[in-house]
Amino acid sequence: MTAAVEAVDVRRSYQLDGLAVEALRGVSLRIDPGEHVAVIGPSGSGKSTLMHLLGCLDRPTSGTLLVGGRDVSTMTDAELAELRNRTIGFVFQSFQLLGRTSALDNVGLPLVYRGNRKAERRQRAAAALEAVGLGHRLGHLPGQLSGGEQQRVAIARALVTEPSVLLADEPTGNLDTRSGAEVMRLLARLNADRGVAVVVVTHDPEVAAMTRRRIGVRDGLVEYDRPEVAG
Amino acid sequence: MRAGEAFRVALDALRANRLRSALTMLGVVIGVAAVVILVALGSGAKQEVEDQVEGLGSNIIIVVPGKFEFGSAPSVSRLTLDDVDLLGRVVGDRDRVAVSVASGETVNVGRRESFVTVNGVNESVPNVFNRPLARGDYITATDVDTRRRVVVLGSSVVRRLFRDVDPLGRQLSIAGVRFRVIGVFAKVGSTFGVDRDAEVHIPVTAAQRLFGVDRIDALAVKAPTADSVAALQPKLVAALADRYEGEEFSAVTQTQILGTIGRILGLLTLVLSAIAAISLLVGGVGVSNIMLVSVRERTREIGLRKALGARQRDILLQFLIEAVLLCVVGGLLGIGVGVGSSYLVAALSPLPAVIAWWSPVVAFGVSAAVGIFFGVAPARRAGRLDPVVALRSE
């Protein structure tokens, strides 16, 4: 089976004021289609950098990164953009919805870059919103929705392209406990029902506990990688 | 991304900041309007002068002493009435040679007086120039030969001195000498607010005595055909140079006068439009500035769009269309304002204005080009943003 995402000895360093800072110092991991994973680590551990790499928003300084079996290092920016559009769905801590745009059109946004027509975009966006339980909020603007609802709109937007991997960066970070738990349950359900691999990046062990596999990251290295204890 | 979609997104962004978009557009509106108005005034001036020169008649050659140049001091004329015969022999017809000796004089009827151009002429003027009479007769060869004190009046002179009274056969004084009115010119109108009907013609012989001179200022020859103008020109000069040794004479045609005036007014129009173009440039800088602000404000949106699959090209297109839209809409409004103001100026002031077909077209093209030129830098900046950095920005 081809891995959904696979990293082999991936390193990423930044130049900060002339100093090279290594955010990732040789990470290898493999995420298969349909997996439900948490990447857990304290701030500064390199987990955000890892998420950006897995999401093709960035390229590794060295090492091999395969997304859907394709080597990211050989791809152009435009090819990466298309890869993101087709295979990755993003969910951000701060939702990142366009404020003056309805829930329906927010969800349809990724399809704009696929060249889909408006009617098709709206139809698919409506179906995605239905799937996250917001079928009654299509015309609402983000400001008219609660935090939990906004994050569900963002999840619908990540799903609308039918990606193979859904990357969620601290998806519960801006939510109260109840909404956060709801969002995590939704992600788990989508993972189970649709077979989309879900990768949740978090610093919160309680959130991580709601996934089936946990990858601990610390100081730019994978500290541990363990499946849920059976039973 | 489809182009239509990019257009819709750009339009949405402009609508989101209505006041800002309107003010940015205003810079372009003013720039384009200024260019359109000044080009219209320049073309209007040129058109009016050309109409006037062409309205004189056709195939006319003006012969003057000295060099014919705009801005050069007029030479003292040594031409006399005998030169009519000389040039008449060159042309082959004495009736094709008109003369002029002119001076500004006060004319009065009773207590009403007026300052007009008094032009001493011979009977050939109607053969050479297109100057129709409204009433009465023109000066005859006998009037010239016998130095008869008769006068033909311009229409505004009639209005000022005689009001509603029929002037034919009545007397008026020119510089204190009495003349009898024998004719009235048809109305010509005014150019740049200067009344061209404030003129009277009297026999050249009477004029010379009145002004106390025996010279004439200039001769005008009507060539028999348009083709003969060029050949005739040097012959006229040569004949005069033969008679007056060591003197210089010039013969200029209407085409040459038009060419000279055209060059001067063309240059004037160019300078004016260049000044107006500076304001368009400033408007363009305003667009560029506001687009940079817009890119900065929407950095996170750009990051998001890139994360969702927008390519550099898609983002660039979105912002470029936004800038071009500002300029093109501003340009169209500017053309409207410019054309409207030009007609208003033409209607309410003595300045003529002519909207050449090309001026709005060029203005539109230039404003679109300004949009592209000043939109590219901010749009490229937007397109090149690193999505990771962009998503993190606040």
Pairing of strands B177-185, A221-227: unpaired
B297: in domain: yes
pLDDT of amino acid B51: 84
- Residue B262 — left, alpha, or beta (φ > 0 → left; ψ -120 to 50 → alpha)? alpha
Among residues B225, B247, B269, which one ends one of the domains?
A: B247
Asked if B279 and B340 sit in the same domain, the reply is yes
* Closest Cβ opposite residue B301 in set A77, A98, A110: A98
Please say whether the beta carbons of A212 and A35 come within 8 A: yes
B385: in domain: yes
B305-314 burial: b if 16+ Cβ within 10 Å, else e: bbbbbbbbeb
Asked if B161 and B242 sit in the same domain, the reply is yes
Q: Does A161 touch chain B (CB under 8 A)?
A: yes
B353: in domain: yes
Residue B292 class from Cβ within 10 Å (0-12 exposed, 13-18 middle, 19+ buried)? middle
Asked if B81 and B41 sit in the same domain, the reply is no
Q: Does A8 touch chain B (CB under 8 A)?
A: no
- Reference B305, options B6, B22, B3; nearest CA is B6
3 state DSSP class of B179 = strand
pLDDT of amino acid B55: 80
pLDDT of amino acid B353: 86
Q: What is the DSSP letter of B96?
A: G
The verdict on a CB contact (< 8 Å) between B309 and A82 is: yes
Among residues B216, B247, B278, which one ends one of the domains?
A: B247
Asked if B113 and B224 sit in the same domain, the reply is yes
Residues contacting B92, CB < 8 A, separation 6+: B224
Asked if B43 and B127 sit in the same domain, the reply is no
Residue type, A203: H
Residues contacting B129, CB < 8 A, separation 6+: B56, B57, B60, B98, B220
B67: in domain: no
B238-276 burial: b if 16+ Cβ within 10 Å, else e: ebbeeeeeeeebbbbbbebbeeebeeebeeebeebbeeb
- Reference B312, options B371, B245, B231, B383; nearest CA is B383
Among residues B247, B280, B304, which one ends one of the domains?
A: B247
The verdict on a CB contact (< 8 Å) between A110 and B309 is: yes
Asked if B235 and B266 sit in the same domain, the reply is no
B60: in domain: no
Which 332-391 residues of chain B touch chain A by CB within 8 A? Answer: 386-388, 391
B129: in domain: yes
The verdict on a CB contact (< 8 Å) between B313 and A110 is: no
Mean pLDDT by 10 residues, chain A (231 residues): 91 88 93 94 90 92 92 92 94 93 95 93 96 94 95 96 95 93 94 94 91 93 80 40
Please say whether the beta carbons of B48 and B192 come within 8 A: yes
- Reference B241, options B74, B54, B86; nearest CA is B86
The 3-state secondary structure of chain A, one letter per residue = CCCCEEEEEEEEEEEECCEEEEEEEEEEEEECCCCEEEEECCCCCCHHHHHHHHCCCCCCCEEEEEECCEEHHHCCHHHHHHHHHHHEEEECCCCCCCCCCCHHHHHHHHHHCCCCCHHHHHHHHHHHHHHCCCCCCCCCCHHHCCHHHHHHHHHHHHHCCCCCEEEEECCCCCCCHHHHHHHHHHHHHHHHHHCCEEEEEECCHHHHCCCCEEEEEECCEEEEEEECCCC
Mutate to test the interface with A, among B18, B302, B305, B308 (most CBs of A within 10 A): B308
Asked if B264 and B291 sit in the same domain, the reply is yes
Q: Where are the alpha helices (DSSP H) in chain B?
A: 3-16, 18-55, 82-91, 125-128, 141-145, 155-162, 204-211, 228-243, 254-297, 299-307, 312-348, 358-384, 387-392
Q: What is the DSSP letter of B94?
A: G
- Reference B32, options B271, B299, B282, B295; nearest CA is B282
B338-361 burial: b if 16+ Cβ within 10 Å, else e: bbebbeebbeeeeebbbbbeebbe
Residue B227's domain spans which residues? 76-247
Cα B217 to chain center, whole Å?
Answer: 27
Task: Find chain B residues with C-beta within 8 A of A85's C-beta.
Answer: 308-309
The complex's ipTM works out to 0.94
Is the C-alpha dihedral spanning B164, B167, B173, B178 positive or negative? negative
Give the Cβ contact number of residue A191 at 10 Å: 19
Asked if B129 and B199 sit in the same domain, the reply is yes
- Reference A174, options A64, A85, A94, A114; nearest CA is A94
> What's the total number of domains in chain B?
2
- Reported as a single tens digit per residue, the pLDDT across A107-166 is 999 999 998 999 999 999 999 999 999 999 999 999 999 999 999 999 999 999 999 999
Task: Find chain A residues with C-beta within 8 A of B16's C-beta.
Answer: 100
Mean pLDDT by 10 residues, chain B (394 residues): 84 90 93 90 85 83 78 70 89 90 92 92 92 92 95 93 90 93 89 79 94 91 89 90 86 86 86 87 90 92 94 93 93 94 89 84 87 92 91 79
**CA–CA–CA angle A18, A22, A28 (5° rounding):** 155
B41: in domain: yes
Asked if B292 and B321 sit in the same domain, the reply is yes
Q: Does A61 touch chain B (CB under 8 A)?
A: no
Asked if B284 and B378 sit in the same domain, the reply is yes
pLDDT of amino acid B192: 65
3 state DSSP class of B259 = helix
Asked if B325 and B240 sit in the same domain, the reply is no
* pTM greater than 0.90: no
C-alpha span between B161 and B181 (Å, rounded): 12
Tokens representing A94?
């701060």
B252: in domain: no
Q: Does A98 touch chain B (CB under 8 A)?
A: yes
C-alpha span between B104 and A78 (Å, rounded): 80
Domain annotation for chain A: domains and CATH numbers: 5-227 (3.40.50.300)
Task: Find chain A residues with C-beta within 8 A of B310's C-beta.
Answer: 81, 113
φ/ψ of A6, rounded to 5, equals -140, 130
